Amino acid sequence: MSSSLEARRRANLGYLNLDAATAHAARPAIVDYATTPPRIVSHGEMFAAMERVGAAAQGAGLKPGDIVLLAMTNRTEFIVAFFGLMRAGAVPIPLNIKLGADTIRFILEDSRAVAAVVEPEANPHVVALVDAAGLKTRVALAPAPPAGWQSYARWLDAADPAALDPPTIEGAQIAFIPYPSGSTGRPKGVMLAHRGLLWSIRTAQKYRPSGPDDRALVAGPLYHKNAMREGVKPRLHAGGSVVLMPRFDPRAALVALAEHACVHFAGVPAMFKLMLQQRDLLARLKFPKLKGLAMGSAVVGAELLHAVEAAFGVAARDTYGLTEGGGPLGSPLDGRRMPPESCGVQAPEVELRLVDRDGRTNTGQGELWVKSPVVAVGYLNLPDLTAERLPDGWLRTGDVFRRDAEGFYYFLGRTDDAFRSGGENIYPKEVENLLLGHPGVADAAVMPAPHPIKGQVPIALVVRRTGTGASEDDLKQYCLANGPAYAHPRRVFFIDAIPLGGTEKVDPKAVRELGLKLLAASPIAATSA
């Protein structure tokens, strides 16, 4: 390999597995449950397939910076296409395949995508929307591609990987653009650079090394940060492997964790709650190499962490990460145990600030600001938002944290989630964590409701723990006894499940709509304060 070619490859996120493909070519990279029986793909085979995608992209006339919509379910081809397109300098958009037609249409228009690589069955709207947008390159992963589309298999077969000429990656050149779903409004394209993402991978390997014997289970969607950051990237980079499930199923996930001797699994709390219900499997399965479990993207709570640790016999942690800023918090490198409900301490080589409402810095509580090479370059087509959210290289996360004397950070909520009740600031996350401490509560979501005296007061949607019969008054009294009086929920509504969105996170809009509907039918007592 010429020094020039090697330098270009090492500056390109698409080549994150360059060393692994050489040192561990014959070892498994992916155990793919999208097929029956599971398909095993080696590091050498994966690298070669990525080269073919890059060559096919260049052969189709895609230039560095051209944006490509990528819409697939969890399968090897998603990973191959995602990194392979980057090798040609193209910029993939990993699409949330659960989005509706209007949002996908907006993403196509906003991004000015020129190509699409899709699995037609992944989303019922995507083929027609790509056709309507007139994209010049349309590739379909399907036995019989739609009219006007190329077959993915034939597209790669016709490519000459030896002809691939990786471009020079300069400055803050963009690697890919996710469009994460927000709580309100349209999603925003987040521009993430090659150099920052490679820094993140290499820094993680420096301080928390992964090895060729490490295997992670990935059951969350690949278009979401949890799956890629916690599972796929570290393993591909270090020569380890990933057990890839097409969708989450609690019983299948438990069996895979045991049979494939996985060392790591990360997911949202809802996944772990479902796994804990499979008592027969937990009683007979063994997890001999499991080292740790991570959960995030939603309210976790100390009780869930303890239950997971007891069931699996390993440490579980509440994680914090965001599309625009990676993972700025982590478990202490000195081995200190993380307190329940903490997201960890400041990660190595990352700068943090806590900024309060008056602009004062590091007072112990405030909005978290993050600075590191992985922080997003900006928001696509939104210069004013970029200037507001990314001043001088800092990311204003919009998340409020408290830091204790030992340097541990505790997530309190979003700056726009906080509301005032009789002059007091209330963060829904604080009340949710309080409710989750009650033995009769399995899950909870808290929201503000109008009040004639206080202005706004908290109300709660609660899922009872199976076999318990906690009443509304029980939970109110528990909150009054264990938290500030002003923050106790004035109404508690029992429901079967908290509404979730496409990435298995709580859907704030659906929570608000359901809460207000229940409140209209059974309002807060006029005498309630």
* CATH value at residue 400: 2.30.38.10
pLDDT surpasses 90 at 303 = no
pLDDT of residue 183: 47
Cα–Cα dist 258/282, whole Å: 10
Domain boundary among 390, 414, 438: 414
**Per mean pLDDT, which range of 63-72, 198-207, 429-438 is the poorest?**
429-438
181: Cβ–Cβ under 8 A, 6 or more apart, which residues?
Answer: 96, 99, 187, 501, 502, 503
Cα–Cα dist 137/152, whole Å: 11
**Could you give the maximum distance between any two Cα atoms of the chain, in Å?**
79
Residues 433 and 408 in one domain: no
pLDDT of residue 441: 93
395: Cβ–Cβ under 8 A, 6 or more apart, which residues?
Answer: 322, 324, 325, 369, 370, 371, 375, 376, 389
Does residue 308 form part of some domain?
A: no
- DSSP letters of 403-443? E-TTS-EEEEEETTT-EEETTEEE-HHHHHHHHHTSTTEEE
Does residue 9 form part of some domain?
A: no
- Planar angle of CA 329, 362, 341, nearest 5 degrees: 40
Cα–Cα dist 40/63, whole Å: 32
Residues 364 and 345 in one domain: yes
Cα–Cα dist 423/147, whole Å: 62
Q: Distance of alpha carbon 315 from its chain centroid, rounded?
A: 20
DSSP state of 324: T
Residue 473 belongs to domain spanning:
417-521
Cα–Cα dist 29/43, whole Å: 5
pLDDT of residue 226: 81
Give the three-class secondary structure for 138.
strand
Does residue 458 form part of some domain?
A: yes
For the stretch 5-61, pLDDT in tens is 999 999 999 999 999 999 999 999 999 999 999 999 999 999 999 999 999 999 999
Domain boundary among 381, 414, 447: 414
Provide long-range contacts, Cβ within 8 A and 24+ apart, for 368-372.
368/328, 368/397, 368/399, 368/400, 368/401, 368/409, 369/394, 369/395, 369/396, 369/397, 370/325, 370/328, 370/394, 370/395, 370/397, 371/395, 372/196, 372/199, 372/200, 372/325, 372/326, 372/328
- Alpha-carbon distances, residue 369 vs 161, 399, 425 (angstroms): 43, 9, 20
Does residue 68 form part of some domain?
A: no
What pTM, to 2 d.p., does this model score?
A: 0.84
Give the three-class secondary structure for 206.
helix
pLDDT of residue 95: 96
**Total Cβ atoms within 10 A of residue 525:** 9
Residues 453 and 514 in one domain: yes
503: Cβ–Cβ under 8 A, 6 or more apart, which residues?
Answer: 96, 181, 220, 221, 224, 268, 297
pLDDT surpasses 70 at 502 = no
pLDDT surpasses 50 at 395 = yes
DSSP state of 486: G
pLDDT, mean of residues 143-168? 96
Q: Label residue 185 by pLDDT band (50, 70, 90).
A: low
pLDDT surpasses 80 at 187 = yes
CATH number of 437's domain: 3.30.300.30
pLDDT, mean of residues 318-345? 91
pLDDT surpasses 60 at 243 = yes
Residues 383 and 364 in one domain: yes
Q: Which residues pair with 506 in a beta bridge?
A: 500
Residues 425 and 464 in one domain: yes
Based on the structure, what is the number of domains in the chain?
2
- The chain-wide mean pLDDT, for the chain, equals 92
Residues 408 and 476 in one domain: no
pLDDT, mean of residues 163-183? 90
Q: Label residue 182 by pLDDT band (50, 70, 90).
A: low
* Contact (Cβ atoms closer than 8 angstroms) between residue 457 and residue 524: yes
pLDDT of residue 528: 59
Residues 372 and 345 in one domain: yes
pLDDT, mean of residues 310-318? 91
Does residue 153 form part of some domain?
A: no
Burial class (CB in 10 A: 0-12, 13-18, 19+), 266: buried
DSSP state of 297: S
pLDDT of residue 483: 82
Q: Label residue 110 by pLDDT band (50, 70, 90).
A: very high
Domain boundary among 380, 414, 448: 414
Cα–Cα dist 344/331, whole Å: 5
Cα–Cα dist 484/148, whole Å: 63
Give the three-class secondary structure for 142.
coil
What's the sign of the alpha-carbon dihedral 361, 364, 367, 368?
A: positive
pLDDT of residue 504: 64
Does residue 370 form part of some domain?
A: yes
Cα–Cα dist 158/411, whole Å: 51
Residues 369 and 432 in one domain: no
| H or E segment to which residue 78 belongs | helix 76-87
pLDDT, mean of residues 214-232? 92
Q: Label residue 509 by pLDDT band (50, 70, 90).
A: confident
* Contact (Cβ atoms closer than 8 angstroms) between residue 303 and residue 316: no
pLDDT surpasses 80 at 425 = no
pLDDT of residue 529: 61
- Above pLDDT 90, what percent of the chain? 72
Q: Which amino acid is at 299?
A: V
List the structure tokens of 424.
């007091």
DSSP state of 195: H
Residues 426 and 515 in one domain: yes
Cα–Cα dist 18/47, whole Å: 8
Q: Label residue 216 by pLDDT band (50, 70, 90).
A: very high
Cα–Cα nearest to 28, from 39, 16, 36, 13? 39
pLDDT of residue 358: 83
* Contact (Cβ atoms closer than 8 angstroms) between residue 340 and residue 302: yes
pLDDT surpasses 60 at 516 = yes
Residues 410 and 434 in one domain: no
Residues 432 and 506 in one domain: yes
430: Cβ–Cβ under 8 A, 6 or more apart, which residues?
Answer: 412, 413, 483, 487
Residues 397 and 440 in one domain: no
pLDDT surpasses 70 at 297 = no
| H or E segment to which residue 353 belongs | strand 351-355
| H or E segment to which residue 104 belongs | helix 101-111
- Alpha-carbon distances, residue 416 vs 366, 399, 413, 452 (angstroms): 13, 9, 8, 22
Q: Label residue 503 by pLDDT band (50, 70, 90).
A: low
Does residue 260 form part of some domain?
A: no
Does residue 110 form part of some domain?
A: no
